[in-house]
């Protein structure tokens, strides 16, 4: 029996709520980070590292902190997966599991907080719906990805932010 803080994770509803809680905590932490002074420095480093360095910021220390925070969230996600599903196999070291998250970020919109989540949902449902019609569902996903990169260079949420929701983080 898998339990965390007395909550039985063998129940599907409890697993869903635990995953939702972890997602919400990480999303809130990222939102707060981006709005903080450190987040603004990280954005400045992304845009022009040399200029940020000339303004007196220790870019190496800020990038190290960003990598540590990223690793912490990735580690929490991996630990949560193991706790929620009871196993983590070696198949997670295969190429698709390292390429797909990058694809989701590009698809949803790099530089947006909610973009990777939207990209993941879009790709998941695109593959699910297209697999009902054809066995070549990855071909459909590839064509849609090419079209999106040609016509929405900043991703789905970047496009939405440019056109309609300027306030979107």
Query: Pairing relation of β-strands 3-4 and 7-8?
Result: antiparallel
pLDDT at residue 4 is higher than 80: no
> Cα 3 from chain centroid?
26
Q: What is the pLDDT of residue 67?
A: 95
The single residue listed with the structure tokens 């929701």 is 165
The pTM for the full model equals 0.74
Q: What is the rounded end-to-end Cα distance, in angstroms, of the chain?
A: 40
Task: Tell me the H-state helices in the chain.
Answer: 12-35, 37-47, 49-54, 59-85, 96-108, 115-131, 137-151, 155-163
pLDDT tens string 69-105? 999 998 888 888 887 777 777 777 777 777 788 888 8
The residues spanned by each domain of the chain are 1-88, 90-169
pLDDT at residue 139 is higher than 70: yes
């Amino acid at each position: 029996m898998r339990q965390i803080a007395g909550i039985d994770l063998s129940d599907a509803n409890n697993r869903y709520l635990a995953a939702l809680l972890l997602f919400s905590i990480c999303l809130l932490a990222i939102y707060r980070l981006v709005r903080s002074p450190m987040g603004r420095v990280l954005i400045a480093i992304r845009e022009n590292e040399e200029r940020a360095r000339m303004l007196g910021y220790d870019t190496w220390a800020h990038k190290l902190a960003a990598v540590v925070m990223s690793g912490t969230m990735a580690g929490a996600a991996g630990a949560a997966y193991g706790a929620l599903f009871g196993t983590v196999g070696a198949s997670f070291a295969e190429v698709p599991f390292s390429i797909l998250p990058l694809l989701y970020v590009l698809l949803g919109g790099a530089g947006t907080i909610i973009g990777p989540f939207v990209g993941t949902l879009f790709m998941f449902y695109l593959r699910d719906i297209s697999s009902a019609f054809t066995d070549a569902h990855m071909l459909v996903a590839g064509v849609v990805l090419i079209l999106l990169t040609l016509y929405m260079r900043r991703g789905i949420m970047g496009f939405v932010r440019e056109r309609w929701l300027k306030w979107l983080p």
